[in-house]
Amino acid sequence: MNTIAFARRSAGTLAFALTVGLAGCQSMPAGNIGAPEGPHSAAELRLQQSEKRVRETVYAAALTGALWGVPIGMAVKWATGRRTTKDLVDGAKQGMLFGGSIAAIDGYVTAKKEQAGKEHIAVTEAAARDLRKENANLQDYVANAVRVAAEGRARLGSLAQDIASRKLGADEARRAREREERNLRSMEDALAEARTTRTQYAGAVVKLRTSEPTGNLDGEIQRLDQQIGQLQSTVSAYRRALEVSRA
């Protein structure tokens, strides 16, 4: 396990500990699309599997940055008068993400320089390999998301007809929509993760551009941008279909 990946897992553990310690034995939410209600289609199961690969990102926030971000986030909430347990927990999480993101860029560039020296390759090539892997995982996820969204929009279209013909009651309709909401949350979370990854790699490019060409890494960032755009379009269409079903 490389040190950056370890830092990310450690930061995640810290976030969990802070949440439990401040909020007091609160249960963590279940996975987005792994909830037991209702059968999953083959596409939904593939989406769940690809979601796991997307979350096992190579780029990870440095633990030290996450740590110093925690008190800052909590202090901001306190200073603005938002002092409930939930407010402080949210502040701790936001501060962790902020601090981790800043420290991650320096930590990542340093790690890639060490790797490049050992393997006798350009630093930007070492970084491009990482992003290439992330792009491959995201491409698989996006392909599955497109299939799941298409199925979901079809189900939502039938749902409106079933409600109008009184084939489904209010509770059954609510449960049917919850299935689509779980899928949407998975896609929205993956989209947010991809955007964070894009921001971090762009920060790394800024630091590396002064010392060597970054064309290979720039190309992978462009590929990431294309996938982010496709996932955003998929999410937007899925969300509109869900909102129409409630009208």
pLDDT tens digits, 25-57: 433 333 444 333 457 888 888 888 888 877 665
Between 105-119, 130-144, 194-208, the lowest mean confidence (pLDDT) is in 105-119
What integer is the mean pLDDT of 112-140? 91
End-to-end CA distance of the chain, in Å?
Answer: 50
Q: What is the DSSP string of the chain?
A: --HHHHHHHHHHHHHHHHHHHHHTSPPPPPPSS--SSSPPPHHHHHHHHHHHHHHS-S----HHHHHHHHHHHHHHHHHTT--SHHHHHHHHHHHHHHHHHHHHHHHHHHHHHHHHHHHTS-HHHHHHHHHHHHHHHHHHHHHHHHHHHHHHHHHHHHHHHHHHTTSS-HHHHHHHHHHHHHHHHHHHHHHHHHHHHHHHHHHHHHHHTTTS--HHHHHHHHHHHHHHHHHHHHHHHHHHHHHHHH-
pLDDT above 70: residue 4: no
The class (CATH top level) of 122-247 is mainly alpha
pLDDT of 77: 52
Residue keyed to tokens 């070492």:
126
d(Cα 135, Cα 99) in Å, to the nearest integer?
25
Quickly tell me which residue has 């079903």 as its tokens.
245
- Residues 98-125, mean pLDDT to the nearest whole number: 77
pLDDT of res. 8 = 43
Domain boundaries, the chain: 1-31+56-120, 122-247
pTM of whole model > 0.95? no
Tell me the one-letter amino acid at 65: G
Give residue-wise pLDDT tens across range 5-27.
334 433 444 444 444 444 444 33
pLDDT of residue 245: 79
Mind listing the pLDDT tens digit for each residue in 185-243? 999 989 988 998 898 899 889 989 988 999 999 999 999 999 999 999 999 999 999 88
Mean of pLDDT values over 125-151: 94
